[in-house]
Amino acid sequence: MSERRDVWITGIGLVSSLGEGLEAHWDALKAGTRPVVDETGFAPYVVHPLAKVEFDKQIPKRGDQRQMEPWQRIGTYAAGLALDSAGIKGDKEILGRTDMVVAAGGGERDQSVDGAILTDIEKQAKPDVFLNEQLQSNLRPTLFLAQLSNLLAGNISIVHGVTGSSRTFMGEESSGTDAVRIGWSRIAAGTSEIALVGGAYNAERRDMLLLFALKRLAMMAPWSPVLAAAKGIPTGSAGAFLVLESPEHAMARGATPIAKLSGVWSERARRTEAGAVEAMIEELVTVARGGSDEATAVLSAACGAPEPTAAEAAVLARSGLPVRSVTDRVGHGLEAQMPVALAIAALAVSKGGLFPPLEGEPLEKPFDGTLKRAIVTGVGHWRGEGVALVESVD
């Protein structure tokens, strides 16, 4: 690797069960209260519902909102917050060359149409013909667009005018790590000046819970902290976008950094090999630490699935560093989780301190010192290990 430039985080958009924006999140995190969970609406599962959001504030046209499913609205909203935070909202010249990398899933189903079809299909003489008839009459044409993974990015282009470039990564937790990594790599290498990276997840949908339920991976009530004893994924609705920028570009427009993104590592342990996940996350954390533990903490984006989370927790316990679980505060947002955790890490570094430990999470120890560096760890529920390093800008 040749010479790398610094990469600054100059804007953050964050929306979750704790509210919207950096200050609302900081207030909630500092208060150290129990997370916001819904244990009945999707019983027996636990989800962290999105805080009440006035989508009109970032997506002014109702027509645009109607063309989106909730995950796209959450993401488009968070992207708007990030552009506001960076001070580039509406700046056509900059947005026209802003590079975008979005981590996305997709596939929100019309669950009532599916249910109605499943209720009657086995009674039909020709079930496949019946299915086609029902889909043709009952699917909303625009639902397809609300489903396509790359249409979160498409909606951000339409609503906010980000058009420099547009790439969408899928692949669960890793896609969030890689979206940030690619945006970071391009700026660090000097082939991009400014990028919008992030993702969004809607946890309040049974079709996604179904995917986890097939392997009994969704957390059931009652809610409990994930690092102490991972018993399932506590999915949480959230959207997070970061504006990444070269220092030259930021200074030229008078923007100040929230924090510095100093590195992003994305790897893939062979999980059929015993101990591989733990070894991989240990290796990545060691690289991120870089031999210095001064004013450093770890923020975990742990998924809550038993095996990978146990491996992650073991590494964090051995590290001796102060640890905070982002997942315990806002839940797990799959593709969005690394961007969410990075947003909170950058926030903590910019505040120069950590929020208090959570009751019931013994790995979290009190830390009253100054915080200058935050290592974010994320181990995918089925694949992929990611680590990122956020540092304060001196």
Partner 1 sequence: MASYTDKAGRPIVVVTGMGMVTSLGQGKQDNWAKLTAGKSGIHRITRFPIETMKTTIAGTVDFLPESGRTAPDLSEELAQLAAEEAIAESGIGSKGNFPGPLFCAVPPIELEWPQRRILAQESAANGPISYDDLLRAAETGGHDAWHERFLYGSIADHLADRFGTRGQPISLSTACASGNTSIQLAVEAIRRGDCDAALSIATDGSVTAEALIRFSLLSALSTNNDVPEAASRPFAKNRDGFIIAEGAGALVLESLEHAVARGAKILGVLEGVGEMADSFHRTRSSPDAKPVIGCMRAALADAGVAPEDIDYINAHGTSTPENDRMEFTGMSAVFGERIGSIPLSSNKSMIGHTLTAAGAIEAVASLLTILNGRIPPTINYETPDPAIPLDVVPNVARDAQVKRVMSNSFGFGGQNVCLIMTGEPA
Positions 331 through 390 that interact with partner 1 (CB under 8 A): 382-386
Dihedrals phi, psi of 219, to nearest 5 degrees: -70, 130
- Least distance to partner 1 from the beta carbon of 222, Å? 17
Alpha carbon distance 342, 388 (integer Å): 8
Contacts of 37 (CB under 8 A, 6+ apart): 17, 46, 47, 48, 223, 234, 331
Give the residue with the Cβ less far from partner 1, 151 or 389: 151
**In the complex, minimum distance from the CB of residue 210 to partner 1, in angstroms, rounded to a whole number:** 6
Per CB under 8 A, 2 contacts partner 1? yes
CA–CA gap between residue 286 and residue 342 (Å, rounded): 18
Q: Which of 10, 16, 65, 67 binds partner 1 (CB under 8 A)?
A: 67
70 touching partner 1, by CB under 8 A: no
* Side-chain half-sphere exposure of 310, counting CA atoms within 13 A: 9
Residue with smaller CB distance to partner 1, 88 or 321: 88
Q: Which is nearer to partner 1, 19 or 339 (CB)?
A: 339
Per the CB < 8 A criterion, the answer to whether 59 and 65 are in contact is yes
116 binds partner 1 (CB under 8 A): yes
What's the min distance (Å) between Cβ of 111 and partner 1?
Answer: 5
Contact 388, 179 (CB under 8 A): no
User: Is the separation of the CB atoms in 335 and 103 below 8 Å?
Assistant: yes
Which listed residue (215, 275, 286, 352) binds partner 1 by CB under 8 A?
215
99 or 245: CB nearest partner 1: 99
Comparing CB distances to partner 1, the nearer of 26 and 382 is 382
Nearest to partner 1 of 174, 246 (CB atom) = 174
Q: Which of 127, 119, 105 is nearest to 173 (CA)?
A: 105
How far apart CA 257 and CA 247 sit, in angstroms, is 8
Comparing CB distances to partner 1, the nearer of 244 and 347 is: 244
> Is 202 an interacting residue with respect to partner 1 (CB under 8 A)?
no
State yes or no: residue 182 binds partner 1 (CB under 8 A): yes
* Minimum gap (Å) between residue 33 Cβ and partner 1: 30
Residues from 122 through 181 that contact partner 1 (CB under 8 A): 122, 126-129, 131-133, 135-136, 139, 141, 143-145, 147-151, 153-155, 157-158, 161-172, 174-175, 177-178
Measured CA to CA, the distance from residue 391 to residue 234 in angstroms comes to 28
Site for partner 1 in 252-311 (CB under 8 A): 266-268, 270
Which residue, 20 or 172, is less far from partner 1 as judged by CB? 172
For partner 1, give the closer residue by CB, 350 or 377. 377
Q: Report, in Å, the least distance between residue 322 CB and partner 1.
A: 27
Nearer residue to partner 1 within complex by CB, 261 or 358? 261
Binding of partner 1 by 118 (CB under 8 A): yes
How far apart, in whole angstroms, are the C-alpha atoms of residue 297 and residue 319? 10
Number of residues that bind partner 1 (CB under 8 A): 81
Copy the structure tokens of residue 98. 């802003």
CB neighbours of residue 27 within 10 Å: 13
Contacts (Cβ under 8 Å, ≥6 apart) of 383: 171, 172, 174, 268, 271
CB 278 to partner 1: min, Å? 17
- Pairing mode, if any, of strands 99-103 and 194-201? parallel
How far apart CA 66 and CA 63 sit, in angstroms, is 5
Instruction: Report the C-alpha gap between 179 and 373 in whole angstroms.
Output: 21
Cα(331)–Cα(325) distance, rounded to whole angstroms?
10
CB of 336 to partner 1, least distance (A): 14
- Distance of closest approach, residue 374 Cβ to partner 1, in angstroms: 21
Give least dist CB 292 to partner 1, A: 25
Residue 39 engages partner 1 in binding (rule: CB under 8 A): no
